[in-house]
Structure 1
Amino acid sequence: MLTTTVDADTPARRSPVLAHLTPNWFAVVMGTGIIAVGAASLPVDLPGRDSIARGFWVLATAAMLLLSVAFAVHWVRYREQALGYARSPAMAPFYGALPMAVLTVGAGTAAVGTEIFGPSAIVVAAILWALGTVAGVAAAITVPPRMLSGGAPSPVWLMPVVPPMVSAATGAALIPHLPEGQARLAMLLGCYALFAMALTAAVVTMVVVIGHLARTGLPAVQAIPTVWIPLGVIGQSIAAANLLGRVSDTAVGPGAATGLRAFGVVYGTAVAGVGVLVLGYACLLTGRAVSRGLRFSMSWWSFTFPLGACAIGAGALGIATDSVAVQWFSVALLALLLGIWAVVATRTAHGVWTRALLTPTP
């Protein structure tokens, strides 16, 4: 690892953390912001849900602003280290966390910000969606070749290909705010294209990862939290299919809208079965890892966003099918997420306070 000589006259140059700031820190924004989006979209009106949504949206927005400034300083003042991380096959996949963080905060802005800032919040949400989508598509195209240049396939490889699916899911909320006619149609078609792009890339990636794991065995104990990452694309794809179907009648005719809603229900029901299976495996493997000495690391944030995505997907499917059981399942997932987030956020705060998380991994 290259080092940089720094001056002691400025806080930024005194702090070695800025020399080793890696993109996986944006998972904090993802895992926090998904709670805001999940609470705002709950199909069951529970006491305190609005306060939870607003509180976590504020936390996620603050975290994104802080990390964005720190990341900019990292690239300006410690460019060699930044380029080293970007070129690393092991670290490159985490650059998918940046656009997903932006998209998650943008979705929270659309869902919660209007209560605080009024219609201008939709404008901000649209800008964040556009920025996150462009960055996410760029990551999905440019990062996979970097991963293939070295390093073993792992569930982390999904990180750069999931952002377009997040764009598809979060873009649905913006469609009714666009001018009627071609603008709404273009957005709807664009979101379905993003859906197809991400789904194709995710399936191909998982085939490669599963093939590697079949030959070499499960990841090391400390990497087990990453097996939760596939739940992110599962949950987001269910949400995207049903949320886009729900708003499709604002952009296409009744016949096409009925077909798109039906597609969302059929796709969501089928993939939900896969999701339950993956969730069961993830819980089993995590429990075994804990018994074998799993230690806290930033990889624990892998528990949060994927679980939140599943909660949102279950909620969207529950509304589409009018299934009370599925709607309450989404509530249960969000409640579980809140508990997990409390543990992971507390451990992260302690690691920052003690500077244990602010030094490079050997």
Structure 2
Amino acid sequence: MNTKFLSDKSLKEIIRNFTPNWFTLNMGTGIAFLTLHNINANIFDAQLLLGKSLWLIDIFFFVLFFTLLLARMFLYPETIMLMFKHPVQSMFLGAVPMALVPILEGFAIFGPSLFGNNSLNIALYLWWIDAFLAVCVGWLLPYLMFSIQKNHKLENMTAVWLLPIVASEVTASAGGMLAPYFANPIAEAILMVSYILWAFSVPLAFSVLVILFLRLVTHKLPDKAMAVTSWLTLGPLGTGALGLLLLGHAAEKVLIGTDLENIATFLSNFGLIAGLLLWGYGLWWYVMAWIITLKFFKDGLPFNMGWWGFTFPVGVFTAATLQLWQATGYDIFKYFSIVLSIQLAIFWILVFTKTLKGMWSGYLFHAPCLSPETGLPKPEEECKKFSKKNK
């Protein structure tokens, strides 16, 4: 076991090895406090306080990670191209806009009681920024996969491919939550853009799921270090269902009195039916993820930041289940959402604890794209090329 403490690790070394997969901590923590809020049971007085506390903790880590990422870009710009070229590490750039979504939703949910009504404007500004980042990532990463990235073979493919694609639909679901807080024309603009973002993401995610199924059939299960990626399949399906449900509900409020008022009921009904279908598709992958995980548990799963895949996908699937319960009144969704919430809580506590230990020891600060064992050009060679170009 690595006994070297973070205090003994150079700050420059931490910055140079900082990777965007740290933002998955924000995704997991964010969906944890949103789920705590969404159960809306008010069972105990500390529920609201705990939700706010987790939100503030999430903001702290997001600011810290974003600062470290910017520091790496400015202090070690030669390593950024290495990250872009890495076939796995680059995918986690999609985690950046997804990590921001729970934070901006927190400004709408918890912000008014702490910062006043200006918190809603902050949430709105952050949403537009997030939409821009999600679209950029959704275009940039596939292009890099098409052009400069190597080692993309069917046998190497995992559900990590979904990360840059799913970011836009996560932003779309946030738009469905946020739109009713505002008056028109702002609310209508959020609603329309959110539907576009949903379409920007979900159909492409379906394509990746089809390829993933083919890869699993032809090349069997991935290495145990990538076993947790099986849970990522819940991301586009859970978020896709959640997005349509929230947008349909928002449409009934936002489109009243507009030229599109006559389709408000249709969008609500469509959100329910399509959301239910996507949820059913997600249920298949949920059971399969459990089967795959239990198989690998026998062999032992090495801890890495990929373990945060246990949290966010389950969280959005839980949120979609809660929305289906509210829309249908069927108790089966209520009871299943409770089971999912308990699972999410257990996973979050386990992964958060292990992450803090790994952060303190320093061993989690390791950038695979800077390792000579990646199969990519050696980092020192790339750095020399960068230096020559910028002399």
Structure 1 residue runs of 4 or more that deviate by more than 6 Å after TM superposition: none
**2:310 paired with 1:303:** yes
Q: Secondary structure at the match of 1:161?
A: helix
Change (3 A) 1:264 1:250: same
- Alignment RMSD: 1.8
1:74 partner SS: helix
**Structure 1 CA distance for aligned equivalents of residues 9 and 132 of structure 2:** 30
Question: 1:88 Cα deviation (Å)?
Answer: 1.8
Decide which of 272, 276, 284 is 1:265's aligned counterpart: 272
Residue in structure 1 matched with residue 103 of structure 2 by the alignment: 105
CA–CA distance in 1 between the matches of 2:11 and 2:167? Answer: 34
- Counterpart of 1:206 in structure 2 is 209
Which structure has more relative contact order (CA 8 Å, sep 6+)? It is 2
Which residue of the other structure, out of 146, 153, 159, is the alignment partner of 2:163? 159
- Correspondence for 2:91: 93
2: CA distance, partners of 1:13 / 1:130: 36
CA distance in 2, matches of 1:243, 1:73: 37
State the 1:13 CA deviation.
6.3
Residue aligning to 2:376: none
1:51 positional shift: 2.5
Give CA deviations for 1:142-169 in whole Å, capped at 9, x if unaligned. Answer: 1012234432321000000001111111
SS at structure 2 position matched to 1:139: helix
| Residues 188 and 360 of structure 1: CA distance in aligned 2, closer, same or farther (over 3 Å) | closer
Question: What is the match of residue 179 of structure 1?
Answer: 183
Q: Which amino acid aligns with 1:55?
A: S
Aligned partner (choices 57, 60, 75) of residue 59 of structure 1: 57
Partner residue of 1:170 out of 170, 174, 177: 174
Extract unaligned runs of 5+ from structure 1. 1-10
Aligned equivalents of 1:142, 1:42: Cα separation in 2: 36
Taking the aligned partners of 1:66 and 1:244, their CA distance within structure 2 comes to: 32
Is 1:229 aligned with 2:232?
A: yes
Q: Distance in 2 between matches of 1:183 and 1:58?
A: 27
Kindly indicate whether the alpha-carbon contact (under 8 Å) linking 2:15 and 2:68 is maintained by their aligned counterparts in 1: yes
Which of the numbers 335, 343, 346 marks the counterpart of 1:336?
Answer: 343
Paired with 2:166 and 2:268, the residues of 1 have a C-alpha distance of 22
1:34 aligned to 27, 31, 34, which one? 31
Is 2:94–2:134's contact at 8 Å kept on the other side of the alignment? yes
Q: Pick closer, same or farther for the CA change 1:246–1:46 going to 2, 3 Å.
A: farther
Cα contact 2:105–2:178 (8 A) shared by 1:
no
Aligned residues: 351
Per-residue CA deviation, residues 280-300 of structure 1 (Å, 9 max, x unaligned), is 110111111110121111110
Per-residue deviation at 1:108?
1.9
- Is the 1:12–1:18 Cα contact (8 Å) retained in structure 2? no
Task: After TM superposition, list the pairs within 5 Å mapping 1:317-336 onto structure 2.
Answer: 317-336=324-343
Contact 1:19 1:78 in 2 (8 A): yes
Alignment partners' CA distance in 2, 1:272 and 1:60:
28
- Indicate conservation of the 8 Å contact 2:52/2:110, yes or no: yes
Structure 1, 342-351 or 77-86: larger mean CA deviation:
77-86
Match of 2:5 in 1: none
What's the CA shift for 1:57? 0.7
Mark the structure with the bigger radius of gyration.
Answer: 2
2:118 to 107, 114, 120: 120
SS of alignment partner, residue 162 of structure 1: helix
- Match 1:132 to one of 130, 133, 148: 130
